[in-house]
Structure 1
Amino acid sequence: MHALATKYNVLYNGQVAFDQAKLQLDDNYKDNFWELLPIEPLKIEEDDKQILLNPSAPPSEKNDEGTSTATGFDRAEEKAVKAIQKHGMDINGKERNRQIDDAYLLLGKSRYYSQRFVPALEAFNFILGNYTEHELRDETRVWQAKTLVRLQNEELAIETLQYLLKNLNLPLELVEDGHTAMAMAYKALDSSQLVLKHLDSAVLFSIDPKQKARNLFILGQLYRNEQKIDSSNLYFERLINFKKAPLRYKIHAQIDRAKNYTKKDSTPLLLARLKKTIKDRDNRPFLDELYYHKGRIEYLNDSVKIALNDFEKSLRVQNAKEYQKELTYEAIGNIYFDKAKFELAGAYYDSIIAITKNKNEKRIRRLVRKRESLDEVIAYEHIANTNDSILKIASLSKTEQEAYFQQHIDSLKKIDELAKIRLENSLTNTTGFGNLSDDTSKSSSKGGKFYFYNNNVAGFGQQEFKRTWGNRALEDNWRISAKKSTIRENKQTDIAIAEDNFDTTKKYDLDYYISRIPTKKSELDSINTVRNDAYYKLGVLYKDQFKEYPLAAERLEKLLTYNPAEKLILPINYHLYKIYANFDEEKSNKYKNIVVTNYPNSRYTSIILNPDKVAASKDANSPEAIYNDVYCDYDFQHYTRAYQKTEKAIEQFKDEPIVPKFELLKAHILMKTKGTEAFKEALSFVALSYPNTEEGKRAVEILENFDNDSVN
């Protein structure tokens, strides 16, 4: 009677609760397919480590799903305990109710999934110490080994499973579970080859379709990590063709097969498969990843336009995953970066930085550095283009200037007229404030009747405001205050571009445009100097930081046509010699001859003619040696001698990378000899002359500290 009541009442209800909770746990588990999947889908939260220290603590309940699952395992545990306490028949040291061993197994499994591993291990050890039924003991050994892995006792788990797997009469289900548990243990020990071996065996003896699909996917990932792409593709193809596999594994097998793409693969076949998968409505939750990988294959086959289109589709997918958005933004940014469209690239990199949740990730840190390096390029490109336009317009005759600006005014009028028509059409059938009591109008896709509840109209209004006024801070007198345009205002080394003092109320006034054209020679010379400096810095940045050699050569050669200052001509020719050495030997020799012939006594000529000697030079004439000598004088308070040597070194090594170091040292010498005002003036010179160097940035920091101290 006790056995019957245990099996069909208490234990039955407990098993039902356990099965439902386990099913819910599997369904709710969110796999991160961008990383190596865990062999068992059980997420161990950081907070749950307390369970190891306090085994009696209840399971963590953090959200509705977790609470519901934990409650299911709690109910299963409660029923198992009830069966043991109410229906146990321990007579003379022997259990007479043959269902109690199943109750102990259910108790251990429930505690395992509640992440209370020490009490779970106690239950499994009790079974192995008190019951002799072979099949139950074999299953318990598998669970005992899994629990030992969770408790970081992998060696004992492996020993237990090795003993178990020697039994050639094990049921296939236990053989699969045993090899899977063995793979878990070896994975914890970072023995990748043994993980592969046991997962392969688990797949061979597989009974559970879910675990088989998971094991196949992990095998594909592991072989890819081992750089064995053919083996990786083989397992992904097996999973794609496995009919009983859950949909998420089949789709991600296709995605990861696409990740393994090389030019040796059949491109039309892979693209056709991805297109077919995209068309299937059941695969809509995965469209962002599918479009991304299709675009990636298109890009690798030089179909850049199609790739960009696919990437944009990936971004437009509703409920697209945040991490996938990051990868897609990065892919688009890299395309524009390779095309030297740095402003567009920077905008996409900004999108990644704005949405990422892990700003300390190595990939994000590298991206931030790359984005920051674009600031200078974008700023200098803006200066160069703006000043080029000003100088070009200033060189036109009065009649040509009027014709140019009249054409611009006509285009503005046409744009504004079209915008007005669009706004009127958007506001058709809109009456006042609408029904403010209807809260659903705020979240409607079409929007309510109130202007700001209509997403289309409000969005259009925002675009119109930005087009007319630009990006304005939310502050008093925003309409009339002078605004300085800068790149990434939060940086300390911002580069001022231009004063935005255009009066938008006069945008149709031809005379207003003409009056803004600079006419004084001093103004034009200043604009020309700033423009030339921007071109020079662009050439050096493209050469040294981005390795965009054709682009660097184009900027510097264009600068030579503008008759730059004499001090720039020698370094321009030297940089062109170095740039063309990467892809055009004939032009490289041309600029080499210019430097050697026209500047035979310069240090650049010494570097060209004796590169090994100069590179290896550690004598007293090397820039580094001279700097160390000057710094020693400064350190020993020989300020006059240090100042004289600094002045001489700056002249000797002008336009070389070490000059900013000498200038910053000179500023500190002036602080000691002439006081704070001379120090600040020298720092300002360093900050303005060398903004993209470490010394220039350091000068800005010191100046800001001065300003903060004066305010305080």
Structure 2
Amino acid sequence: MIAGVLLSACSQYSTRPGAISFHNLSARYNAYFMAQQDLLNAEYDVQKAYKENYNQLLPLLLPMDSVLFRPVKAKLEDAVRKASIVAEKHQNSKWLDNSYLILGKARLYMGQWADGLEALRYIYANGKDEGDKNDALILLMRAYITRKDYSNALGVAEYLSQQPLDKSSTRDFYLTKAYLHQQSGEYLTSVAILEETFPLLGKSPETARIHFAAAQMYDQLGQYALANRHYKAVSKNRAGYDLNFYASMNSLQNQVVLSPEKDLNEVGFSKMLNDRKNDDLKDKIYFTMGLLAEHRKQIPEALGYLQKSAAASKGTNPQQKAYTYLQLARINYERLEKFNAAKSYYDSALALMPETAPEYRLVADRKMALDEFVSKYEVVAREDSLQKLAGMNPAALDNYIDTYMEAQEKARQEEEEKARKEAEAAQALNPQSNPSPLLGPNERRWELYDPALVNQGKIDFKRIWGNRALEDDWRRSKRQMRALASGNPAAAADSLTMEQEEPENKSLVKGTPAWQEMHDRLKQDIPLTAETMAESQGRKENALYQLGKIYRFDLQEPQRSIASFERLLADYPGTTYKEELYYLLYLTYPDNDAAKNTYKDRLLKEYPNSTYARLVTKPGSAGPEGASSQLKEYEAAYSLYSQGNYTKALEDIEANLPAYKGGPLEDKFALLRVFLIGKVRGKDAYSQAIAEFISLYPDSIYLPRLKEMQELNSLSMGKR
């Protein structure tokens, strides 16, 4: 009897003061406290291991990323196990809500979203402490932000803004709301909230980090003086060395922007370069100097600084080198229009950039587009050059080729002589190049240990193959035409025209059979007959057409797309692509440009019965609700497809397909749907989707392509 009374008095469902006190004590010290310590230790470990990317906007709060928290999964599981004890054995304890908060946060960190959100919602629905309820809602808001569910996060924020919050909850709420607006790109609102938050924050490395993020957002808004105020606040809040360094760098950058007359070395860059503590960070210093030089339109200086940045990278920060290559790629592409160099730099950036980087998909798409673009661009340049040579009279052409060969042979000999002298100088100055007394009479040093042998190898290589850049496909003989047409001896020395099937140690001499053989080889690709000229014109016409489409759809550069299409129409008035070009130009020109209607009128006048004419005359096909708006919708769906988000893209297209009915891009949407079905639903569904397209769109310009796809799919299914 007495035992039963004692047990009932200690029941977790009892409301007696003694029972509640017992469970409060047991819950706090036997479960909650230890669970809280496990969670705090896990958060500390993750924060300590987290690698900031200072080239990107720092998130105000660390993301709830299960990959990020994977190394501390054991601690999180311990926190969950211990916090669950309170829920299982101490229901009447005042620490129940706090334990559910730990449960929710730990499960969210581990990526267990359903369980984590359920724990937070339980606190809101059943919690007894208003402060715990508010903390659960703040955490719920952060979870929504992580999932990019900004509308729900904003709804929670509006509710919390009406609640009385204590100082700690107010601080967390302000930070989370600022984080919401930062992640949704509303930087002005975010920094306004942060200005109210800073008085609530103590001095700490985390406060320094928040000041840095605020400064970055002010930079985005063009408020450089306000940004510098926060960059200076970083050093006053016990920031680490790296954070202090990047804050100083960005502050110097803003000083130059605010005072354009200042020399880069005057504001402190030279001092930072000479500081030995910055040896591993010189790449960032040169990178910033490159950005500022470009800002001042000093492009050669910018390239020089960026190349110094790449050379100074010691492998401790591969991300910085990736951004350096990215900047070099952008300058070469946008400002210098050196597309081959830009492609190479994009390749290098992509090789160093982690797949989790925000720019990775964009860089990968740009690199893929440039691969195709450069090949077409080179076709246009090559055929232009060959056609120009073909227009010369025969005697002038022969003289031109001979002059070119003489310049090339002279450059080759000078290079070989220079290499020989370097080898002799190295052998004379470097005692290691002399035979070692430890070697036997018939033994020799390994070539890579002997500078003389290395230099001799370089001479032999240059004699046989010429002076070549380190690049892919360097033996392609077609490149000789570009060097020949350029008329530049420096380019000639770099070209492949001296490629030979067998090594030769003889110089080319004018009038010899070897000279004539090389002369004829250079001449053979020049379109000197009507037939070869037609083939050359065809290659150039097709390449211009493809260039315009790559500009328009892959590189998202409408103005360059227009220039390419209009050049094609000017150079080839009878082109077979004319009706499609009229249509694409109509779609590409902005609505307020008179040229838009000009191309529409041409299309209707010259090709009144074409599919493209029907597309531009269908109801709703013009104006912001017609072709232009549907093109934007298509580009959004195609972007999802390019990013590998096939399920989402397919859902969007199938949900809106009725709205595209009768629109200018209906069959284009249907074609993309076919591709997506193949990615998401397998071969059988893919085969059915192709058959449906052929049945529904018998007049589509994509029909030949679909029939080819149908044949390939049938062959593939037959092999199974």
Question: Which TM-score tier does this pair reach, normalised by the shorter chain?
Answer: 0.5 to 0.7
Percentage of identical aligned residues: 16
For the Cα contact (< 8 Å) 2:309–2:324, is it kept in 1?
A: yes
- Give the corresponding residue for 1:666: 707
What is the deviation of 1:645? 9.2
| Distance in 2, Cα, partners of 1:460 & 1:183 | 74
Name the SS of the counterpart of 1:659 in structure 2. Answer: coil
- Give the corresponding residue for 2:208: 216
- Give the corresponding residue for 1:291: 286
What is the deviation of 1:376? 1.8
What is the deviation of 1:423? 1.2
Say if 1:184 and 1:414 are closer, same or farther in 2 by CA, change over 3 A. Answer: farther
- Give the corresponding residue for 2:450: 449
> 2:370 aligned with 1:374, yes or no?
yes
State the one-letter code of the partner of 2:328.
Answer: I
Q: Which runs of 5+ in 1 are unaligned?
A: 1-24, 56-116, 119-144, 163-178, 439-446, 486-498, 650-657, 670-678, 680-698
What is the deviation of 1:535? 1.1
Say if 1:288 and 1:395 are closer, same or farther in 2 by CA, change over 3 A. Answer: same
Q: Give the alignment partner of residue 316 of structure 1, picking from 311, 315, 337.
A: 311
| Distance in 2, Cα, partners of 1:347 & 1:371 | 9
Q: Give the alignment partner of residue 535 of structure 1, picking from 522, 544, 563.
A: 544
Name the SS of the counterpart of 2:564 in structure 1. Answer: helix
What is the deviation of 1:427? 0.8
> 2:347 aligned with 1:355, yes or no?
no
Q: Give the alignment partner of residue 555 of structure 2, picking from 531, 543, 546.
A: 546
The TM-score with structure 1 as length reference comes to: 0.54
Say if 1:33 and 1:596 are closer, same or farther in 2 by CA, change over 3 A. Answer: closer
> 2:230 aligned with 1:235, yes or no?
yes
| Distance in 2, Cα, partners of 1:594 & 1:199 | 62
For the Cα contact (< 8 Å) 2:175–2:194, is it kept in 1?
A: no
Name the SS of the counterpart of 2:419 in structure 1. Answer: helix
| Distance in 1, Cα, partners of 2:238 & 2:696 | 80
Deviations 1:456-482 (CA, angstroms, capped at 9, x unpaired)? 976995898585699678xxxx99x99
| Distance in 2, Cα, partners of 1:249 & 1:636 | 57
| Distance in 1, Cα, partners of 2:466 & 2:592 | 43
| Distance in 2, Cα, partners of 1:448 & 1:180 | 69
For the Cα contact (< 8 Å) 2:313–2:321, is it kept in 1?
A: no
Q: Which runs of 5+ in 2 are unaligned?
A: 1-44, 83-100, 110-118, 124-128, 136-165, 180-189, 440-447, 481-495, 503-513, 628-658, 675-685
For the Cα contact (< 8 Å) 2:477–2:499, is it kept in 1?
A: no
- Give the corresponding residue for 2:74: 50
- Give the corresponding residue for 2:244: 250
- Give the corresponding residue for 2:327: 331
Deviations 1:280-305 (CA, angstroms, capped at 9, x unpaired)? 43433322112222322333343333
**Equivalent residues in 2 for 1:440-589 (5 A)?**
448-450=449-451, 465=465, 467=467, 503=500, 509-563=518-572, 565-579=574-588, 581=590, 585=594
> 2:347 aligned with 1:346, yes or no?
no
- Give the corresponding residue for 1:400: 396
> 2:407 aligned with 1:387, yes or no?
no
- Give the corresponding residue for 2:653: none
The TM-score with structure 2 as length reference comes to: 0.54
| Distance in 2, Cα, partners of 1:309 & 1:471 | 21
Stretch of structure 1 that moved more, 532-541 or 246-255: 246-255
Say if 1:557 and 1:503 are closer, same or farther in 2 by CA, change over 3 A. Answer: farther
Deviations 1:24-78 (CA, angstroms, capped at 9, x unpaired)? x9xx9886352749999xx9974343255579xxxxxxxxxxxxxxxxxxxxxxx
For the Cα contact (< 8 Å) 1:33–1:252, is it kept in 2?
A: no
Say if 1:295 and 1:437 are closer, same or farther in 2 by CA, change over 3 A. Answer: farther
- Give the corresponding residue for 1:32: 52
RMSD value, Cα: 5.9
Name the SS of the counterpart of 2:576 in structure 1. Answer: helix
| Distance in 2, Cα, partners of 1:384 & 1:588 | 27
Deviations 1:597-616 (CA, angstroms, capped at 9, x unpaired)? 44444454455566725749
| Distance in 1, Cα, partners of 2:228 & 2:72 | 37
For the Cα contact (< 8 Å) 1:298–1:304, is it kept in 2?
A: yes
Say if 1:627 and 1:45 are closer, same or farther in 2 by CA, change over 3 A. Answer: closer
| Distance in 2, Cα, partners of 1:410 & 1:324 | 45
| Distance in 2, Cα, partners of 1:554 & 1:51 | 60
| Distance in 2, Cα, partners of 1:185 & 1:453 | 64
Q: Which has the larger radius of gyration?
A: 1
| Distance in 1, Cα, partners of 2:695 & 2:170 | 71
What is the deviation of 1:266? 3.6
What is the deviation of 1:311? 1.6
What is the deviation of 1:378? 0.9
Say if 1:390 and 1:369 are closer, same or farther in 2 by CA, change over 3 A. Answer: same
For the Cα contact (< 8 Å) 1:180–1:199, is it kept in 2?
A: no
Stretch of structure 1 that moved more, 504-513 or 379-388: 504-513
| Distance in 2, Cα, partners of 1:296 & 1:463 | 41
What is the deviation of 1:354? 1.8
Say if 1:406 and 1:225 are closer, same or farther in 2 by CA, change over 3 A. Answer: same
Deviations 1:429-465 (CA, angstroms, capped at 9, x unpaired)? 4387855989xxxxxxxx84246767x9769958985
- Give the corresponding residue for 1:21: none
Say if 1:184 and 1:702 are closer, same or farther in 2 by CA, change over 3 A. Answer: farther
Say if 1:638 and 1:39 are closer, same or farther in 2 by CA, change over 3 A. Answer: closer
| Distance in 1, Cα, partners of 2:53 & 2:325 | 19
What is the deviation of 1:666? 3.0
What is the deviation of 1:348? 0.7
